[in-house]
A and B are shown apart, each in its own frame.
Chain A
């Protein structure tokens, strides 16, 4: 067991000018075989490995990452956490994640800076209002905190908002989930990595996967840049590259990969202490602890793997932000980036067994996977360990695209696609 992070370890290390902190996880060479190999070292993959080791006692596990930990969508999202989804199936999954978030810093002994500052979804027209009212009621029936806000209540919580939306995007109401909020995205990957490593999981970075060994319809190994790694089971959690990776195993997926953009402004004093999202006009905004406004933009409509987006998308988002928050018009943007999101036809994830024995896939989180990181890892680990879906992810099988049992969450997903 590594030393715990605590006020005492902080003081002890202060005496050596913080130069003697031990490494948070090892960087081992891969062994020749593992019980489970997880492909993809983002938050979801690392969480899967951690829960495999901790909950299911499967410690002979490797996480293989082509780049560096959390360098994909884990480090590129806008850090928003909420669970106010419409359908019972999604409510179960996302609310399970929310409950894990609430104890995550203690569980991981790593401060993920989970801040339940509330998440608000604005309504700009009568139909938005009806949809929001329906979703608030559905949430409450599922035991998820959710409330309806009138324009005056919105103004109380977010003084800089212009309720007239400059005449263009009038604010008629909002849904609000007070338990929602933000978390430090990198810390989630690092915290899970450190704890998984502590439980014996090998984390192997800079190791792209080139193919899978499949014999008689059963997976037996993973071909990587560091040679063949034998595996009894393989879990693939690679977000934007899911289709590409699954094709190596001869599996076709219903995904479309789009670039999704985000940007941050120069840091300013606190102006907004909650998260405001507007699905209809693609503006959502929160303020980081450093003072930067974190703004989520939309997806490019075309298939793209370039991890960058095109200008019209950011332009549209910023135009909407300026209409809703006129006082931000003179803000300057510091950074802008894109991540590749694997959007699914029903805006719900796929956490499933596949036609290949021992080969599991967790993908299709699209534009909103970060919020589900702990829950996604938890149910995926359970699915892999027991070779059957957990009740919470039974509805999210690959099979649903044949049966037609889709879980349509386009209304609850923040970014239209």
Chain B
């Protein structure tokens, strides 16, 4: 069970949250000019990082607000929690193989 420190409500159990996948994916601005490959990349492709992963969570059973989390996907340790729309804190974005 993860304990996630909601930036608005404080530490709560994982079961109160829903997962939003990879963070910092921007919707392409000139969408009418995108090729099929570029759309495929935006819609489907995923970093799926083994190591430190930047991801989105929403506090579904609490304040219902979205925020970002930096989490180690091997140890599952949460390294940082930060607000949506802000840059991630300085972290060693380690990738394992």
Contact = CB atoms under 8 A, between A and B. Distances in A.
Interface of A: 208, 210, 241, 243-244, 248, 252-257, 301-306, 310-312, 345, 401-404
A302 B45 contact: no
27 contacts: A208-B97, A210-B97, A243-B49, A244-B50, A244-B96, A248-B97, A252-B41, A253-B46, A254-B44, A254-B45, A254-B46, A256-B21, A256-B48, A302-B19, A302-B71, A303-B21, A303-B53, A304-B76, A305-B50, A306-B73, A310-B1, A310-B14, A312-B14, A345-B44, A402-B36, A403-B36, A404-B36
Contact of A255 (B40, B43, B48, B75): B48
B96 A301 contact: no
Contacts of A210: 97
B1 A311 contact: yes
B41 A301 contact: no
A305 B21 CA distance: 15
A29 to B, nearest CB: 23
A368 B2 CA distance: 26
Question: Interface extent on B, as a size class?
Answer: 20 to 34
A252 B71 contact: no
B87 interface: no
Contact of B18 (A254, A301, A404): A301
B48 A253 contact: yes
Nearest to B76: A306
A289 B47 CA distance: 41
A393 B44 CA distance: 20
Contacts of B37: 402
B44 A312 contact: no
B59 to A, nearest CB: 14
B55 A303 contact: yes
A256 B96 CA distance: 16
B39 interface: yes
A402 B39 CA distance: 7
Nearest to B38: A402
Contacts of B48: 243-244, 253, 255-257, 303
A312 B74 CA distance: 19
B30 to A, nearest CB: 18
Contacts of A302: 2, 19, 55, 71, 73
Contacts of B45: 252-254, 401
Nearest to A303: B73
A47 B14 CA distance: 39
A241 B1 contact: no
Contacts of A304: 73, 76
A254 B48 CA distance: 8
A302 B78 CA distance: 12
The 6 A-B residue pairs with the shortest CB-CB distance in the complex, in nearest-first order: A243-B48, A254-B44, A402-B40, A301-B19, A402-B36, A401-B44
